[in-house]
A and B are shown apart, each in its own frame.
Chain A
């Protein structure tokens, strides 16, 4: 039983990490109806820019490499870089495609993926970097000593960050003017424009917020596995989460993440050995596919009704 609990808790906490990436997808989809294929690349770009600035700032400003000033300055500059990326995306990619079919916008984000990956490596190089957030990825001692259950301090920290982000985003969407405008734009671009909502400003805001989420996700995944190209693969973990939780729901991303995380770990441990192992790569997709058959809009997604 202890082992089962450990697998379950570990899976739930991994799911939170997936949800962090999924949140970025949800934000952009909610505001523009675009499935942003470039979200994984944005996570990579953000994390690489952060560690890149961490490397160069001490030389530029004469600060200690591991000082908190360097950390927060690098964070701020990386966030600014994400805002610039968001504005550039709006100006160069999205603005010319207003009112085009969603599939066109989706295809544009595929192209954007390669551009963002290329720029990141061109500017900062392809070296693998470590990233230390000062939180050790080790089990909590008293849980281990008393119950022999290993729950990582780092995973708990990631869960806390994700919960805070969800709360912030929920407030942004539900209780602010910008949030209401975001939802209006998501419903209908032309209708939103006709009542005076500045579509371009809203898109810039949402891409900037998605950039912030990508930065946080990139830092957490980067601290765990290193800042390297493989961060782009985190998007693969977020896709089944989105299908399950719904593309338009922030809490759905979290619940979807928890379900995917827990089920893939339990499947790997209890089913994997009977089928040769290594099933957690495809199991979440199978689960999401099965779920699609029952509830195509996801757990918390908006039901699509067409009047005919």
Chain B
């Protein structure tokens, strides 16, 4: 009898210890399809460095998300679609619950795995890139083009130009040049710019730059001949510094050259040298190391020599901070999902998807995270997978980016109308029945 009691007690103790150990060992796996070599490595190393540093911060400072340690594995895509798909397949079953979120950081890879994520029940988050109409969550439940889409960005840029001119009515008769990367990414701007031009009465002069864009003599001569009031730079990689230098060479004022968020990093302005002074760019995150969240990373991560950035001077740069934004959104979605599916538990991709869809980073939460002003408040719903659609504008002063506006809104009714129209056409083509969001909980 005594032996039996001892055995039962031992079993209970072992069970408790076992469960305790299990809790302590819970890990949430996040697969990172990164690009640290190849043509876009400079941006990739900053973005993924910031992202990993934030996750490291959560592990070091907080012991993980409610005790669940974050783990990750990078897979090198070299920004190549085929490799991106390979990485998706390689990462999807890693970790105790499989990959909980896939963030390809490439519009091409986004399109390549669009159908796969729905089949595998892994949410795909595309912050500031990807398929714009996927913002309609009724039709794209597994895709989250968060914070702002390309269409919202274009609209916010036009709104900013309107403000500079003294009102949207002042845009009538103006000319806006659109210097775009001749790819699906660059052409994503056409439809919205045409709509905005028709609405506000300005003329859009579209000028294509063939990949990679390291030679733009003829494009800038065309710009000089057309004499636009502003030029929107919709570039990527080497196209950006080349455009900025060519603008200087043709005498186009840099204060009227406005880049998109993939044109507005230190990697775009430093190679352009003094020619970049005055250049303005949009961003859904800002540059700077004087935010509490970045200060915490320096203290808890770099203070323990666990930082990911080889070049520590890049901490606080545009791409680095963009990586931190990726980290914040990922971690907060996991935290939100744990509220529903159990605190301290590792979650599946399907459960984390719910976290993304119910994410609410309001001012209070951003303040608690030390990210006030660092990124816009963000609320995602079943129908709206985009969120605020706002950007800030920064200006290069010759040495660093200076924020020159508050969050600038896009023309939400116009953009949302276009998103719903495009998503409905996609649903019709694919035979998808839109979700009824009133029935989602």
A positions within 8 Å CB-CB of B: 3, 6-7, 10-11, 14, 17, 117-118, 121, 125-132, 137-139, 150, 152, 221, 224-230, 232-234, 237, 264-265, 268-269, 272-273, 276-282
Contacts and interface: CB of A to CB of B under 8 A. Distances in A.
Contacts of A6: 221
Given A14-B217, A150-B249, A278-B182, A227 B271 contact: yes
A282 B211 CA distance: 10
A227 B273 CA distance: 12
Contacts of B251: 139, 150
25 contacts: A3-B221, A3-B225, A6-B221, A7-B218, A11-B218, A121-B41, A126-B44, A127-B42, A129-B271, A132-B273, A137-B248, A150-B249, A152-B249, A226-B238, A228-B42, A228-B237, A229-B40, A229-B42, A265-B217, A265-B218, A272-B208, A277-B206, A278-B210, A280-B210, A280-B218
B298 interface: no
Nearest to A6: B221
Contacts of B237: 228, 230
Contacts of B267: 127-128, 228
B210 A138 contact: no
Interface string B170-208: 000000000000100000000000000000000000111
Contact of B224 (A11, A127, A150, A224): A150
Nearest to B241: A226
Given A226-B238, A272-B218, A128 B208 contact: no
B208 A130 contact: no
Nearest to A233: B212
Contacts of B321: none
Contacts of B212: 230, 233
Given A225-B245, A228-B238, A118 B37 contact: yes
Nearest to B206: A277
A265 B310 CA distance: 41
B101 to A, nearest CB: 25
Given A125-B311, A128-B42, A130-B272, A225 B214 contact: yes
A277 B242 contact: no
B208 A126 contact: no
Interface in B31-63: 36-42, 44-45
B37 A225 contact: no
A282 B182 CA distance: 12
B37 A121 contact: yes
Contacts of B207: 277
B248 A226 contact: no
Nearest to B243: A225
Contacts of B311: 125, 127
Contacts of B238: 225-226, 228, 230, 233
Given A128-B271, A150-B249, A229 B219 contact: no
B253 to A, nearest CB: 14
Max chain A C-beta neighbours (<10 A), residue from B206, B218, B248: B218
Given A3-B225, A137-B249, A152-B249, A226 B218 contact: no
B229 interface: no
B339 interface: no
Nearest to B39: A229
A230 B214 contact: yes
Contacts of A232: 39
Contact of B271 (A125, A225, A237, A268): A225
Interface of B: 36-42, 44-45, 182, 206-212, 214-215, 217-219, 221-222, 224-225, 237-238, 241-242, 245, 248-251, 267, 270-273, 275, 310-311, 314
A130 to B, nearest CB: 5
Nearest to B246: A137
Contact of B241 (A132, A225, A229): A225
B264 to A, nearest CB: 14
B215 A14 contact: yes
Contacts of A224: 242, 245
A150 B224 CA distance: 10
Given A226-B238, A229-B38, A229-B39, A276 B214 contact: no
A139 B245 CA distance: 12
Contacts of A128: 42, 241, 267, 270-271
B260 to A, nearest CB: 18
A139 B45 CA distance: 36
Nearest to B210: A281
Nearest to B273: A130
Contacts of A273: 222
Contacts of A230: 39, 212, 214, 237-238
Contacts of A277: 182, 206-208
Nearest to B207: A277
B218 A268 contact: yes
B247 to A, nearest CB: 11
Given A10-B218, A265-B221, A281-B210, 7 more contacts: A7-B221, A11-B218, A229-B41, A272-B218, A278-B208, A281-B182, A281-B211
**Which 9 residue pairs of A and B lie closest in terms of their CB atoms, listed nearest first?**
A226-B271, A281-B210, A278-B208, A230-B238, A278-B182, A126-B41, A277-B208, A268-B218, A128-B42
Contacts of B42: 126-128, 228-229
